[in-house]
């Protein structure tokens, strides 16, 4: 019967059965009890330790006091040197708690939680101390692993470039990483528990809330169209992904946000640079840009005088004259003398562009305005802002573009194709045509109101045959240019050649003369330039007469003949465009209009 047991034996049995490693020290630091759990924990049998002061062997590799020893000697000041955590508790009994990492005699690292309490006699004197040890290694390792992973996670979140925010089911912020603090200019502790909608402009909050409540797994993506606001109220465009998650039965949403302001600006700058690059490349490839204008003829002197007078005014100028007479050169001169020379002179050859592209070329387009518009693109009007826009072959403009051009000229404003934003520009317009625009107006092919807008200051550029005195001058000018270009020691033109050049009718004007000289220089063998061979390559009288027919048929046959002669080559000094005295792009567009297929390889 339990009642028959004396209390000492009962207490000894109780301690013996405790599943917690426990031992008792008497007042002289000798072990009076070492229970079974202690035997198992330390690997030391009770028989080997009871009655000795060798209990430390169970816990340490060298002699040092246990908590029970310190308690017996009343030296609790030394506790902190022996244990990482130590505290006194008077909750149920007067006990001391301590925790620490230690190494068991067999080399095992253990984390122990130690509890020791005094046993007192009737007078309150400490006669013994009971100490129990609990192996907390597994919990401690798990706790540390958790701490490490939390630290790693917060380091990852902290170093992320994107703002990462977690909200609970009421959209209140539970996590706000460093990038979010930078992006929204708000410290994490101020953001904590605030509704995330606070950082979205009011007009976008309803849409944003729908995303926050998404159940779409793994995430819903808002690539564009959301506008956020920083703590100081500054609005900026964002893209965001919303990942719903459930933790302990509660719904959360992790939102990754990215400020796309910089990217948008960079995209816009890139598109502007691309347009400018494309334009500049085109300009660099056209070899007749900003050249010296050569002329001694009185007819041209009058033209130069008109240009000198009109250049400083912002008036539109209409340059009229046959192809190749130098209209583009004169446009360059007007720009250079106009006070707009720091701006760009932007050229558009209206004949060289397909009708469906001309509007977007002039006014630009928004991304997605039509198939193939994968990027927003600035038009020539925008590029010419602060400078001059030169519309060559303006008579070829399709009606829709004519209407838009008229408005741009009247209001100095327009919208990009597919765009709604009205853009204001300050552009001086110079137009050129080799057509009789008044006739085009009468035939209903050109808008009368646009014609009057363009025709404010018309300048008629005489054909080369009307200023024959310029032929030798120009011929020598081109000779010097091409002799240098091709490294040929040709110094002058043979007198007979010069006479022939002066007699020729020059339907292709200066461009044709230039091409003939270029070919002659290429073919030249001595210091004096002969032109017979070069001329015969381009002269109509060296070919069979073209059959009679409509103007279009004659033009078509003529182009086909020249193409055959040049082996299908369009551009370059020996190409069909050079022979015909045309810009290669102009020739290509004429061919398209006349239904001449791209030349096959001859």
Ligand X SMILES: Nc1ncnc2c1ncn2[C@@H]1O[C@H](COP(=O)(O)OP(=O)(O)OP(=O)(O)O)[C@@H](O)[C@H]1O
Which residue lies nearer to ligand X by CB, 70 or 329? 329
Q: Is 324 in the site for ligand X (CB under 6 A)?
A: yes
CA-closest candidate to residue 291, choices 336, 352, 351, 338: 336
* Closest CB to ligand X among residues 191, 464: 464
**Which own/partner pairs from 29-32 qualify as long-range (CB within 8 Å, at least 24 positions apart)?**
29/53, 29/69, 29/72, 31/55, 32/128
Cis peptide before 218 (omega within 30 of 0): yes
> Which residue in the set 39, 366, 392, 530 belongs to the binding site for ligand X (CB under 6 A)?
392
Residues 85/89/92/93 CA torsion (nearest 10 deg): 100
Confirm or reject binding of residue 585 to ligand X (CB under 6 A).
no
Query: In 3-state terms, the chain is what percent helix, strand and coil (to 5)?
Result: 45, 20, 35
Site for ligand X in 326-365 (CB under 6 A): 326-329
Q: Map tokens 């609005």 to a residue.
A: 235
Minimum CB distance to ligand X smaller for 474 or for 531:
474
State which of positions 514-573 bind ligand X (CB under 6 A).
514
Q: Is 590 in the site for ligand X (CB under 6 A)?
A: no
User: Which is nearest to 189 in space by CA: 245, 225, 231, 234?
Assistant: 231
CB 297 within 8 A of CB 467: yes
Strand ranges inside 327-466, DSSP E: 345-349, 388-392, 413-415, 422-424, 428-433, 457-460
Whether 364 and 379 have beta carbons less than 8 Å apart is answered as: yes
Does position 511 interact with ligand X (CB under 6 A)? The reply is: yes
**Closer by beta carbon to ligand X, 228 or else 493:** 493
Give 447 or 511: the residue with its C-beta nearer to ligand X. 511
Contact between 481 and ligand X per CB under 6 A: no
Smallest gap from Cβ 441 to ligand X, in A, equals: 19
Does position 323 bind ligand X by CB under 6 A?
yes
Cβ partners under 8 Å of residue 398, min gap 6:
355, 358
Counting residues that bind ligand X (by CB under 6 A) gives: 23
CA distances from 555 to 175, 532, 551, 587, 597 (A): 75, 25, 6, 11, 15
Residues 50-89 vs ligand X: string with x where CB under 6 A?
----------------------------------------
Nearer to ligand X, 25 or 353 (CB): 353
Residue with token string 């044709």: 512
Secondary structure of residue 126 in the 3-state scheme? strand
Q: How far is the CB of 481 from ligand X (least distance, A)?
A: 9
Q: Give least dist CB 578 to ligand X, A.
A: 10
Q: Which two tokens stand for residue 528?
A: 């004096």
* Contact (CB, 8 A) for 519 and 534: yes
Q: How far apart are CB 302 and ligand X at their closest, in Å?
A: 14
The span from the CA of 145 to the CA of 486, in Å, is 78
**Residues 280-319 close enough to bind ligand X by CB under 6 A:** 288, 291, 293-295
Closer residue to ligand X in complex, CB, 194/291:
291
| Residue whose C-alpha is closest to residue 330's, from 321, 470, 512, 339 | 321
Looking at beta carbons only, is 441 or 580 nearer to ligand X? 580
Query: Would you state the structure tokens that stand for residue 578, as one six-digit string?
Result: 């050079």
* Site membership for ligand X, residue 434 (CB under 6 A): yes
* Smallest gap from residue 514 Cβ to ligand X (A): 5
Query: Taking a C-beta distance cutoff of 8 angstroms, is the pair 296, 469 a contact?
Result: yes
Minimum distance of ligand X from residue 505's CB (angstroms):
17
Q: How far is the CB of 495 from ligand X (least distance, A)?
A: 22
Q: Does 584 bind ligand X (CB under 6 A)?
A: no
Instruction: Determine if 395 is a binding residue for ligand X (CB under 6 A).
Output: no
What one-character DSSP code corresponds to residue 100? E
Least Å distance, CB 412 to ligand X, is 25
Instruction: Give whichever of 222 and 320 is closer to ligand X, judged by the CB atom.
Output: 320
Q: Which residues bind ligand X (CB under 6 A)?
A: 288, 291, 293-295, 321, 323-329, 392, 432, 434, 474, 477, 510-511, 514, 583, 586
């Amino acid at each position: 019967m339990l009642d028959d047991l004396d209390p000492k034996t009962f207490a000894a049995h109780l301690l013996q059965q405790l599943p917690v490693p426990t031992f008792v020290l008497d007042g002289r630091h000798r072990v009076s009890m070492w229970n079974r759990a202690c035997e198992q924990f330390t690997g030391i049998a009770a028989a080997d330790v009871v009655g000795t002061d060798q209990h430390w062997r169970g816990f340490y590799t060298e002699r040092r006091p246990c908590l029970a020893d310190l308690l017996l000697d009343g030296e609790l000041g030394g506790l902190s040197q022996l244990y990482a955590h130590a505290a006194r508790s008077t909750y149920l009994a007067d006990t001391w708690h301590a925790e620490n990492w230690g190494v068991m005699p067999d080399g095992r690292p253990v984390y122990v939680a130690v509890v020791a309490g005094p046993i007192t006699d009737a007078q309150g004197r400490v006669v013994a101390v009971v100490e129990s040890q609990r192996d907390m290694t597994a919990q401690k390792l798990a706790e540390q692993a958790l701490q490490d992973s939390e630290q790693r996670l917060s380091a990852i979140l902290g170093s992320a470039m994107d703002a990462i925010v977690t909200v609970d089911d009421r959209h209140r912020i539970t996590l706000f990483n460093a990038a979010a603090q930078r992006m929204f200019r708000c410290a994490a502790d101020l953001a904590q528990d605030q509704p995330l909608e606070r950082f979205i402009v009011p007009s976008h909050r309803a849409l944003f809330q729908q995303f926050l409540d998404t159940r779409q797994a793994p995430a819903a993506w808002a690539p564009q169209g959301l506008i956020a606001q920083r703590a100081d109220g500054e609005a900026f465009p964002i893209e965001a992904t919303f990942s719903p998650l459930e933790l302990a039965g509660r719904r959360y949403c992790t939102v990754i946000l990215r400020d796309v302001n910089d990217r948008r600006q960079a995209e816009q700058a890139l598109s502007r640079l691309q347009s400018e690059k494309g334009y500049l490349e085109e300009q660099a490839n056209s070899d007749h840009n900003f050249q010296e204008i050569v002329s001694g003829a009185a007819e041209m002197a009058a033209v130069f005088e008109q240009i000198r007078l009109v250049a400083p005014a912002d008036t539109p100028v209409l340059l009229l004259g046959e192809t190749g007479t130098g209209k583009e050169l004169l446009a360059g001169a007007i720009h250079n003398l106009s006070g707009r020379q720091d701006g760009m002179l932007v050229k558009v050859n209206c004949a060289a562009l397909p009708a469906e592209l001309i509007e977007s070329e002039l006014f630009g387009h928004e991304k997605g305005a039509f198939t193939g518009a994968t990027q927003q693109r600035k038009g020539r009007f925008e590029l010419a802002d602060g400078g001059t826009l030169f519309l060559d072959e303006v008579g070829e403009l399709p009606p829709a573009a004519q209407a838009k051009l008229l408005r741009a000229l009247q209001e100095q404003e327009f919208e990009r194709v597919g765009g709604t934003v009205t853009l204001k520009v300050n552009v001086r317009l110079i137009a050129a045509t080799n057509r009789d625009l008044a006739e085009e107006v009468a035939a209903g092919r050109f808008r009368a109101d646009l014609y009057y807008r363009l025709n404010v200051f018309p300048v008629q550029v005489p054909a080369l045959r009307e200023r024959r005195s310029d032929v030798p001058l120009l011929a020598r000018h081109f000779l010097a240019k091409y002799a240098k270009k091709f490294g040929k020691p040709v110094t002058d033109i043979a007198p007979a050649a010069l006479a022939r050049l002066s007699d020729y009718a020059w339907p292709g004007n200066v461009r044709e003369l230039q091409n003939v000289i270029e070919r002659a220089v290429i073919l030249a063998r001595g210091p004096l330039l002969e032109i017979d061979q070069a001329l015969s390559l381009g002269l109509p009288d060296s070919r069979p007469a073209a059959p009679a027919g409509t103007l279009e048929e004659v033009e078509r046959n003529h182009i086909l003949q020249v193409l055959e002669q040049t082996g299908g080559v369009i551009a370059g000094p020996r190409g069909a465009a050079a022979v015909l005295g045309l810009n290669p792009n102009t020739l290509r567009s004429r061919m398209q209009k006349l239904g001449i297929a791209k030349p096959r390889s001859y």
